[in-house]
Amino acid sequence: MVILTSCVKEISFEFEETAIIKKDPVSIEVIYPKLNDASDITSKINKAIESAIAEHIVFFEEDTDRLTLNDAISQFENRFISFKNDFEADAAPWEVTINSEVVFQSVYVITISIDSYTFTGGAHGNSVITLLNFDPKTGDLYSQDDVLKPSKDFISMVEQYFKTETATKTTDSSENYFFGEDFKLPENIGFNDDGVIFLYNTYELASYAEGITEFTIPYSEISKFIKINH
């Protein structure tokens, strides 16, 4: 088992900020980190980041695995033009705003955060955050099972942090947050200098109005549940 600590920072990757900004026919602002050196590892990381961003942009498509970022932007523009021509000539322009950044880097893991907002009409837009965890040695994405040991003690600890985080928001029990079911881990887990991030997007919790729920469990408490092979 490798225990992640914030003091281990032998990083060989240098990310550069990349921006795509368009104003017509839709408003698009995409900012994300990119590796410019040529290697199989950096290519994997860049492709995975751009693919995840593309999925945020064309969330209405069922199959986004083969779409490039530019393809996703074109599809978003074309979908708006078609909607405007067919339904509302005076429709408000659709909007995509994505800010992605490197949250954490170590010899064991690189965590990237993708924070997106999309508006395609209606009462409000859609905000989603995705955390990507990469193996710096291969460029592959880690799954949750690759990095954490989901034991009963682990689940209990995360649930207690969840209850503490949400205690000031509502008097509902944790079961009510999960549509009457038992407590569940979030879809997005990542790393920062302080510990392990647990992030619930609005669609994961029953109380949509409360927005995104996020908390960090310090390494001093969660290290025994971390597993990363190297």
Q: pLDDT tens digits, residue range 186-204?
A: 999 999 999 999 999 988 9
Give whole-number Cα distances, 131 to 80, 93, 104, 110, 198, in Å: 28, 28, 11, 10, 10
Q: How far is CA 99 from the centre of its chain?
A: 11
Give yes or no for residue 7 having a pLDDT over 50.
no
pLDDT the model gives residue 230: 34
- DSSP letter (8 states) at residue 205: S
Comparing 15-134 with 145-225, is the CATH topology the same? no
Task: Specify the amino acid at residue 159.
Answer: E
Partners of 226 in beta bridges: 148
As a whole number, the mean pLDDT across the chain is 88
Q: Compute the distance between CA of residue 113 and CA of residue 130 in angstroms, rounded to an integer.
A: 6
Task: Specify the amino acid at residue 100.
Answer: S
177 close to 166: Cβ distance less than 8 angstroms: yes
Q: Compute the distance between CA of residue 34 and CA of residue 17 in angstroms, rounded to an integer.
A: 6
pLDDT the model gives residue 125: 87
Domain 145-225 has CATH 1.25.40: no
Q: Which two tokens stand for residue 222?
A: 């969660």
pLDDT tens track for 165-190: 988 765 555 667 888 888 999 999 99
Domain ranges of the chain: 15-134, 145-225
Q: Compute the distance between CA of residue 103 and CA of residue 179 in angstroms, rounded to an integer.
A: 31
Q: Which residue has the higher pLDDT, 130 or 59?
A: 130
Q: Which residues have a Cβ under 8 Å from the Cβ of 164 and sit 6 or more positions away? A: 215
Q: Compute the distance between CA of residue 168 and CA of residue 191 in angstroms, rounded to an integer.
A: 25
Give yes or no for residue 4 having a pLDDT over 70.
no
Give whole-number Cα distances, 125 to 32, 39, 200, in Å: 21, 37, 17
Give yes or no for residue 6 having a pLDDT over 60.
no
pLDDT the model gives residue 178: 86
Second-level CATH architecture of 15-134: 2-Layer Sandwich (3.30)
In the β-sheet with 15-22, what is the strand arrangement from edge to edge? 15-22, 27-35, 95-105, 110-119, 126-134
